[in-house]
Amino acid sequence: MNEERAWVDEQWNNVQILYKVRSILYENRSEFQHTQIVDSYQYGRMLLLDGFVQTTEKDEFIYHEMMVHVPMLSHPNPEKVLIIGGGDGGILREVLRYGSVGGVTMVEIDSKVIDLCQEYLPMISAGAFNDKRTNLVIDDGAEFVKETKDQFDVIIVDSPDPIGPARVLFSKSFYLTLHDIMTNHGILARQTGSLHLQVDEQKEAYDLLTGIYSYTEPFVFAVPTYVGGFFSAMFSSDSINPLDIGISALEDRVVGNRLETKYYHPGIHVGAFHVPRFLKERLICQ
């Protein structure tokens, strides 16, 4: 489909964001969600699910680098990784940059998203789906984790916000099951939305995760198309406190993995955990 339309919009409760587009490259409803791929003037090609921007050609690197390198570089030797969601392939691409990784299982509920992103946004997965270490599973992540016999060093939940099929990926039972399939030094990272437009997501995830893991810390970073101020994620582990990891140790691991990044660097990694005071108060005091 190549329909001319001036704008696509993202509707929040009290905020509407408009993106001027050259064209709508694809728009349809899959088995699970309304899916759009547009060519925008400002951010290049964009994937929207149920009307919300998921990733864009121009700023995808920020989210994918922070959601992968913060947990992966905090782990001493990540070998087995689980990705829940992540249909555009950006998280998978960054995980596969680690020589220590022997296998990545990626569980995506909607194969249509993978097909469309490979067709219209191939630069995001950049061949990651064809890597021999990739084990792609088309399933509901909440069901997969109940059945798998595998254990993982790093688990990254790259889901949309808690709407539609993603709702189950924000539940206590899901987090408890993730804990059961994690190795001793396991680390979980999951996105928890923007600090201003998805206020409840950080608190809900923090309260559930602190009841399951020894360490749970929020970290923040700025993604232009994830509107509403800083975007957030939660880092949870039973044995690794992210606040104990310093810049020099991270620099050694960056060099050891020969990582070249556009947003991530060890200083911004450490800084990401120095979150705004209002977020600390929101998580701890209320």
Rounded to a whole number of angstroms, the minimum distance from the CB of residue 43 to ligand SAM is 14
Number of residues engaging ligand SAM in binding (CB under 6 A): 25
Rounded to a whole number of angstroms, the minimum distance from the CB of residue 67 to ligand SAM is 8
Whether the Cβ atoms of residue 219 and residue 242 lie closer than 8 Å to each other:
yes
* 285 three-state secondary structure: coil
Inter-CA distances, 218 with 30, 56, 132, 207, 242, Å: 33, 24, 33, 12, 10
160 binds ligand SAM (CB under 6 A): yes
Rounded to a whole number of angstroms, the minimum distance from the CB of residue 142 to ligand SAM is 5
* 269 three-state secondary structure: helix
Of 82-90, 93-101, 203-211, 273-281, the segment contacting ligand SAM by CB under 6 A is 82-90
Interacting residue with ligand SAM among 128, 142, 154, 197 (CB under 6 A): 142
**Of residues 191, 30, 190, the one with CA closest to residue 110:** 30
Interacting residue with ligand SAM among 169, 188, 220, 240 (CB under 6 A): 169
Interacting residue with ligand SAM among 123, 136, 163, 168 (CB under 6 A): 168
Residue whose CB is less far from ligand SAM, 34 or 185: 34
Please, what sign has the CA dihedral across residues 240, 248, 90, 232?
positive
201 binds ligand SAM (CB under 6 A): no
Of the residues 88, 140, 158, 161, only one is catalytic, namely 158
54 binds ligand SAM (CB under 6 A): yes
Of 103-111, 147-155, 253-261, 273-281, the segment contacting ligand SAM by CB under 6 A is 103-111
Residue whose CB is less far from ligand SAM, 71 or 165: 165
Report the phi/psi class of residue 176: left, alpha or beta, with left for phi > 0 and alpha for psi in -120 to 50: alpha
56 binds ligand SAM (CB under 6 A): no
Asked about 158 being catalytic, the answer comes back as yes
| Other CB atoms within 10 A of residue 40 CB | 20
Of 11-19, 36-44, 163-171, 203-211, the segment contacting ligand SAM by CB under 6 A is 163-171
158 binds ligand SAM (CB under 6 A): yes
Cα–Cα distance for residue pair 113/249, rounded to 1 Å: 37
Interacting residue with ligand SAM among 21, 92, 113, 259 (CB under 6 A): 113
Cα–Cα distance for residue pair 201/137, rounded to 1 Å: 27
106 binds ligand SAM (CB under 6 A): no
Interacting residue with ligand SAM among 19, 36, 45, 87 (CB under 6 A): 87
DSSP calls for 6-72: SEEEEE-SS-EEEEEEEEEEEEEE-SSSEEEEEEETTTEEEEEETTEEEEETTTHHHHHHHHHHHHH
Tokens of 111: 């194969």
Residue whose CB is less far from ligand SAM, 55 or 177: 55
Alpha helices per DSSP H over the chain: 60-74, 90-95, 111-120, 122-125, 141-147, 172-180, 199-210, 247-256, 266-272, 277-284
Residue 170 phi, psi (nearest 5)? -120, 15
Contact residues: ligand SAM, CB under 6 A? 49, 54-55, 63, 84-88, 107-110, 113, 140-142, 158-160, 165-166, 168-169, 191
Q: Give the residue numbers marked as catalytic.
A: 158
